[in-house]
Every structure is written in structure tokens, then in C-alpha cells.
Amino acid sequence: MVSLYSTGLELGNLLLGSDLLDHSWDAISKLQKETFLEDPSLPFSVKYQVYEYPTKFSIIAFVCSPNYAVNHLQEEFKELVSLDEITSFDFLCTKSSSSISLHKAAFTLFASLENDLPLLKQQFTSSQPLIVTGHSLGGSVASLFTLWLLNSLPRYGVQRLLCITFGSPLLGNNGFQKAISESQTWSSCFLHVVSNTDPIPGFLISDLNANLTNPSCYMPFGTYLFCSGSGFSCFEEPQSILELLMIMSSTCAESENLNNCSQVIDYGHSLEQLKSKAVCRGISELPDSISNPLQAGTYLLLEATRFGKLQENVNLSDLAMNIAIRAKIQAKHKQKVFDPVKRLSITKTSMSYLEWYMKNSLEEAGYYDKYKTRRSRSRDEIESTESLIKHHRTLKLFWKRIVTEVENLPWKEGRKLRMRYLYAATSYRRMVEPLDIAEYYGRGKKDYVSHGRSEHYKLLEKWSTDEDIHTYQRSQASSLTVDSCFWAYVEEALISCEVLKDGKSSLEDQESARGNLIKFEDYVMDMINNFLVSPEIFLPQSSFMLWWKEYCIVVGNSSASPLSNFMKDEFHRYV
């Protein structure tokens, strides 16, 4: 929602100048009057209502019974519940964010609507946008419903869904925040409006440092619109939001405000006041320490919301600089993670070099064996190989980082990126992994697939398997051998031939070697029949042809297997 060098001024002006916030708060106010305010003795519960605005959008509003305040804020309000104990949101779990916890009171309210969720889901149509909104704990339920809905929507639907909360408390821990924030599309669906007179949004914060390091503490997510009688400010970097929430909440005596939590803050009045202030503000009388436009914009936003007045020991200049630095880091991180086209452009030079090296290897041995025997070659060939090694390492570092980032996303979001990276990732794996195999066996090691293969290759192979990338029928040989572990199987077959030739091997080892060779022969024939191997494997001095010569010696020329018949009569046609 915020561009690389935006501090939220443009976004704040846009939101306050539109009717989205007004309509959302009007829906909440109407629902509150129709239910809880007429009967404040209703038990702890959540109510919802659907409001239609033909040709514009639909709104689903959630509000919570007002008498939750004293009991739930003082007793169980801070309690977290782990996703290990619930399954409704296990789609948020990732490898890096498996420890995810939700606000128990909010989840309890959301779970009470379980039977109504399918009906509410029907309110989302492809014809017009849907706004999900809520106040206080009702806002937490609105956020949970939005997440639940996002997980079930097709990609195009995400662009027509927006969650707007007013005075909502924090909803989950570090893992929860990270799971949402790592998804650019999901994170941009949430806007939280917070008044400086509302104690609820900052109530769950106990200590800033604890929240940044302790997985059992709460963290914000999405975009926050802070508002006061004097102005507004808009931020999305979580650490900065947490710091600002602490400043706002520390200005109120906790005990006094908890006794008045059932009193609804009139966000409608605040929005009306802010509309007149939603104009471009000039830069004037900035401190000398402010050194760039991003810091200046941040300073003006903080000044407009009077953050410097809320706490005596707050240095507004330092606060603005810290927030600006974190915002810039966050924006650059998102730009790297969510722009596959730009990121892949980094690898073009290295991939081009590998392609050149491969084409210049098609003489007698081929790509794999030229690299494998690089140390015994001429000076010029050694220099070209050294360049290849540098590009090889560059590509490995790049793809290891990509795989880690994608695998750490929630499954649905991760799949979208996997699909965008899949073609480049598959080409990389087929070109680069053979070089790793050559290095591995060049050091005298065995069993690469079980003991030497990098985890990122396994995951990249799983990506292509999950998407069933090879469903089409080939009619000609592949330019790259499809199985990137092919040469590892060739090396193991060579080792098995050595075992059978070695008179010192035990009978058990010899039987195992024969079994392995039979499996390898079947594997190769299957690859050939489906045109899944490159013609380069049949070059005279390739490791595969070396294996075939050794294999013929071991089994004798009388063998009449399919592979034997192919190698005698047909392999020249394949080449």
C-alpha cells in the first residue's frame, strides 16, 4: 500500500478523501445501535450485519458486546492460543513461522460464527468489492474473517477485498505478523484506524523489547492510520507501529481507561475532523537533523498526530529518522521478494555463461565431463572453467536464498511465486546440479543423492513435480537431461561395475551391485524412450559411454536387454 519512499501522507489523504472509512464506520454505528447499545446486558458475543451499496460495494460489519470490557480485558483478554490447538488458520503456518498464536478472546468470538461463515462467504462476488469492518474486538473478528476468506479466494479476488478496523486490539504474535506481512497481497488488505484517545489498540503491549523478541507477545500487521484531533499519520512497518502504539497507550492511566472501555470512541467524529486536514502539507521549520525527504515526510506525519506531545521523553526527530530507516528497509525487502522478474535479471549473465560453456563442450566428452576433468585441461580451458565456477557459485547463492524465502511464505502465496519462478528454477537445476555432482564424485565420495544433495535442489525438484511440469509427451530429445541427478546415477553405476570387477568384493556386495546395475539399465531405457536425456550422454568420451563399455565387459556381449539392443542399433539415431 505504501511505495518505496512514501511515508503514508498520500495514502492517508486518499483514504480520508474517499467514502470507504465513512461507510465502514456508519455500518458499525448502525449495527451497534440495533443490537448492543439498546441492551447492554447481552452476554459476551459478536454480531454481524451485511450492508449493500448497489454499484459500489458490500460491507460486512462486526461488533462485540460492550460488557466484555472489565472481565475480558482484566482476566483472559491477553491470553494467546496456539495454532497447534486450532486448525482454522493452519494455512498461515510456514517453515519459519510455525509458532503462530492468536488472541484467544478474538478467536473464541470468530469460532462462534462457524456455522455462518459459508453464508458470509457468499457476500463476496466478482461483480463488486467487499469491505469487512469491525470495532474493537469486533475488528479482530473482522480481521480473522478476512484472513479466512483470503485463503479461499482466487488470486483476482484479493484485489476486491479490504478489511478496515477501528480501535482493534493486536491480534497475534510475531509468527502471525510475519506470516501475513511476508505476503504482499494479504498484508495490503488490512487497514487499522486508531484514535489517540482509544486505549484498546495498545492495551496488549507490555514492553517494546519483549514484543520484538518474545514469540508469546503481540505484534501489529497491515497498515495503521493513526488519528487525533490535530491530524493523522499512516504507517505499515510493524516495529514502528508498535513503538507508536506504546507512545499513545502510555499517555492514559491504564486503570482509569479499563473502567471506561465499554464507552465507544466516536471514530465518526474523528474522521469528520480529519477530512478538513486531508490536504498536502508543506515542509517548514524542520530540525537540522532531518536529512532527506523520507525523514521529513515522516517527521511531518508524527508532528501532525502530536506524537511528540504525547510523551515528554520522545525526541520527534530521532523517532522520525528511525521510522524512516525501517520503512526503507522494509520496502526494499518487499521489492526484492515480490518482484521475480527483476530478481531473475540478476542471474542472466551467469546463466548465459553456463549456456556458452555447454555449447562449447559438445566435442567428445560433453558439459558434465568437461567440468569433471577441468584440472587436466589446457590453460585457456582452465581459465574458462574458473569463470564457470564463479558463475556456478553466484547462481547457487541466489537460488538458495529464493527457495528459502518462497518456502517460508504461507502455502498459497508461496505457490504463486513458485509458479512464477518455476521455469527459471528448473533450467537452473538442470544446468547447475550436474556441476555439483561432478565436484562431489571428483572428491572420491559416493551416494550423492542420499548424502550430498543440497536441500534447495530437492525443493526445486518438488516444485516441478507438484506442478506436474512433464505431463506433455516429448517427440525429440531434450537439450538438457531432465533428471538433474542423472550423472549421479551414472557415477554410482560405474562404482557398481568396479565392485563386480574387483575379486575382493563380498558376495553380498556383488549381488547388490548387480541389482543396482539392473535398476540403472531400466532407468536409462525409460529416460531414452521418453526423450528425457540429452544426446550429449552418447558422446564418445562421456562418463555414460565409459560406463557402457565397463558394463559390457562385466555382463558380456551376449546380453539381450532393451538397452543393449538400443546401444547396438539405435542410439546413433537418437544423437
Cell reading at 534: 540429452
Q: Name residue 391's beta-bridge partners.
A: none
Q: Compute CA 570 distance to the chain's CA centroid, rounded to the nearest angstrom.
A: 48
Higher pLDDT: 574 or 490? It is 490
Higher pLDDT: 348 or 547? It is 547
pLDDT tens for residues 20-65?
899 999 999 999 888 765 565 667 788 999 998 877 889 999 998 7
Does residue 261 carry a pLDDT above 50? no
For residue 135, give the 3-state DSSP assignment: strand
What are the contacts of 416-423 at 24+ separation with CB within 8 A?
A: 416/155, 417/338, 417/340, 418/463, 418/466, 418/467, 419/467, 420/340, 421/340, 421/344, 421/463, 422/463, 422/464, 422/467, 422/469
Question: What's the mean pLDDT in 229-238?
Answer: 80
Does residue 402 carry a pLDDT above 80? yes
Confidence of residue 280 (pLDDT cuts 50, 70, 90): very low
Dist CA 543 CA 550 (whole Å): 10
Dist CA 537 CA 540 (whole Å): 9
Question: What's the mean pLDDT in 245-256?
Answer: 64
Higher pLDDT: 157 or 44? It is 44
List of residues 6+ apart from 568 with CB closer than 8 A:
none
User: Over the chain, what is the mean pLDDT?
Assistant: 79
Does residue 559 carry a pLDDT above 70? no
Does residue 294 carry a pLDDT above 80? no
Q: Compute CA 274 distance to the chain's CA centroid, rounded to the nearest angstrom.
A: 35
Range ranked top by mean pLDDT from 140-149, 251-260, 410-419, 474-483: 140-149
Q: Name residue 59's beta-bridge partners.
A: 51, 131
Cell reading at 222: 497491515
Percentage of the chain modeled with pLDDT above 90? 29
pLDDT tens for residues 69-81?
444 545 556 788 8
Dist CA 556 CA 559 (whole Å): 6
Q: What is the predicted pLDDT for the residue at 419?
A: 85
Q: pTM of the predicted model, to two decimals?
A: 0.64
Residue 172 per-residue DSSP state: E
145, 148, 154, 158 alpha-carbon torsion, rounded to 10°: 40
Distance (Å) of CA 344 to CA 128, 336, 339, 356, 421? 35, 10, 9, 18, 8
Residue 182 per-residue DSSP state: T
Percentage of the chain modeled with pLDDT above 70? 70
Q: What is the predicted pLDDT for the residue at 254?
A: 45
pLDDT tens for residues 159-181?
788 999 999 999 999 889 888 88
Reported residue count of the chain is 575
pLDDT tens for residues 345-398?
778 888 888 888 888 887 767 889 988 887 655 566 666 778 888 899 999 999
Confidence of residue 140 (pLDDT cuts 50, 70, 90): very high
Find out whether 232 and 192 touch, Cβ atoms under 8 Å: no
